[in-house]
């Protein structure tokens, strides 16, 4: 049985070029970047070169990039720092953010007694911009807005430039969980002036366990981890040299081939949408996941006209890997908090599956998946 992987929003396979580079680094560049001898200096030089390369991809300076163990740590570092170090007393977000943000907000609210407000979202998962503006107007507290640029379950793309203007007008800081963006879209942080953003290498064919946080210049950083003075004092812990180099290479490959990858993936996705609607006209697509421009080309969230608790399991038994929501909660019996927020009780009771694609997804894999899905109708 051939396996079919359609859960790329959860993680992607590592690019062979990245594996090769990391293997060479493991063999030849194993020094501790904090050591002053030649082995340490060599490792430090490689890490700083990667930092500059990554910063250049987003049109920022290397000093604004802090390496972390992934997107979750980066979100935590930014949100915690905003409250503890930057004086933020109020955070505005939505209830359809990734749990890396939502659970962190819960913790900050309990620990530091900050105010947390949630922007309304409609049945498509789009935020209510008028409601956001009203929330920004009606407070004198120092405020941070935290909204993900691409939703990891329903694929909606945030109207980020409008929100940047709004936050600037009301002097609010802006953080975005951009994990589903990096490596799939070009992002110039001079043109899209986010104050903070995050990345996780394994979402764009890099290794797991490494990512970065972007802090716009001028915002000091207090660490959450205490020990050494790595990352200019922002994060104590020996840098993951091989992971950082792998992330740099994966980002370079992804962005250099971004239009080619987008065209190929979009063709696959639109074919899948067309064939699914032929399969049953009652199949629906959650959020903006089926939209060409308002949803990401990598995610399709499908709502079937029935409730089958075994569908995910049966697809897995057939060698087809998909998700009912984010990978972080796939083992939970609670279901998707995103879909519960935007769908009616009847709609959310039907089975929804997130299919997510990469440059390695083939039409043959889609055809095989469609054949299997036909068995459930």
Instruction: Give the active site residues.
Output: 328
**What's the CA gap between 220 and 240, in Å, rounded?**
23
In whole angstroms, give the CA distance from residue 217 to residue 136.
Answer: 23
Crossing angle of the two packed helices 258-279 and 241-256, in degrees rounded to 10: 70
Q: Which of 235, 71, 48 is nearest to 56 (CA)?
A: 48
Strands (E), the chain: 4-5, 65-68, 90-93, 115-118, 143-146, 173-176, 196-200, 211-215, 284-285, 299-303, 320-321, 352-356
The answer to whether 219 and 193 are in contact (CB under 8 A) is: no
CA distances (Å), origin 15, targets 18, 67, 359: 5, 20, 10
Residues 163, 173: contact at Cβ < 8 Å?
Answer: no
Contact 100, 93 (CB under 8 A): no
Burial (CB < 10 A; 0-12, 13-18, 19+), residue 280, is: middle
HSE-up of residue 173 (Cα within 13 Å, Cβ side): 24
Tell me the backbone φ, ψ of residue 55, rounded to 5 degrees: -60, -40
Measured in residues, the chain has a length of 377
How far from 266 is each of 156, 281, 296, CA to CA, in Å?
15, 21, 9
């Amino acid at each position: 049985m051939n396996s079919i992987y359609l859960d790329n929003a959860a993680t992607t396979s590592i690019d062979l070029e990245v594996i090769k580079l990391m293997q060479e680094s493991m063999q030849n560049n194993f020094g501790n970047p904090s050591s002053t001898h030649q082995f340490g200096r060599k490792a430090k030089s490689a890490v700083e070169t990667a930092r500059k390369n990554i910063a250049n991809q987003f049109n920022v300076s290397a000093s604004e990039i802090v390496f972390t163990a992934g997107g979750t740590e980066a979100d935590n570092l930014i949100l915690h720092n905003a409250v503890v170090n930057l004086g933020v007393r109020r955070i505005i977000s939505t209830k359809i953010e990734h749990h890396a943000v939502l659970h962190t907000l819960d913790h900050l609210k309990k620990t530091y007694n900050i105010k947390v407000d949630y922007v309304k979202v409609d049945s498509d998962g789009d935020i209510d911009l008028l409601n956001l503006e009203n929330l920004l107007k009606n407070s004198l507290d120092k405020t941070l807005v935290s909204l993900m640029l691409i939703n990891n379950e329903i694929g909606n793309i945030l109207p980020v430039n409008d929100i940047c203007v709004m936050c600037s007008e009301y002097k609010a800081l802006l953080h975005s969980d951009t994990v589903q963006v990096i490596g799939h879209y070009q992002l110039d942080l001079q043109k899209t002036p986010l104050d903070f953003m995050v990345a996780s290498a394994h979402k764009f064919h890099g290794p797991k366990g490494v990512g970065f946080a972007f802090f716009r210049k001028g915002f000091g950083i207090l660490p959450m981890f205490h020990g050494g003075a790595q990352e200019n004092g922002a994060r104590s812990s020996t840098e993951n040299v091989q992971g950082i180099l792998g992330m740099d290479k994966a980002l370079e490959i992804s962005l250099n081939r971004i239009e080619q990858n987008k065209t190929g993936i979009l063709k696959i996705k639109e074919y899948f949408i067309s064939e699914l609607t032929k399969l049953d006209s009652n199949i629906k697509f959650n959020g903006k996941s089926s939209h060409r421009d308002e949803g990401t080309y990598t995610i399709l969230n499908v709502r079937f006209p029935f409730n089958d608790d075994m569908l995910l399991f049966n697809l897995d038994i057939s060698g087809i890997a998909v998700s009912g929501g984010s990978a972080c909660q796939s083992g939970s019996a609670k279901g998707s908090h995103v879909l519960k927020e935007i769908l009616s009780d009847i709609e959310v009771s039907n089975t929804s599956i997130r299919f997510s694609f990469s440059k390695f997804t083939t039409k043959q894999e889609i055809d095989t998946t469609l054949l299997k899905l036909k068995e459930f109708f």
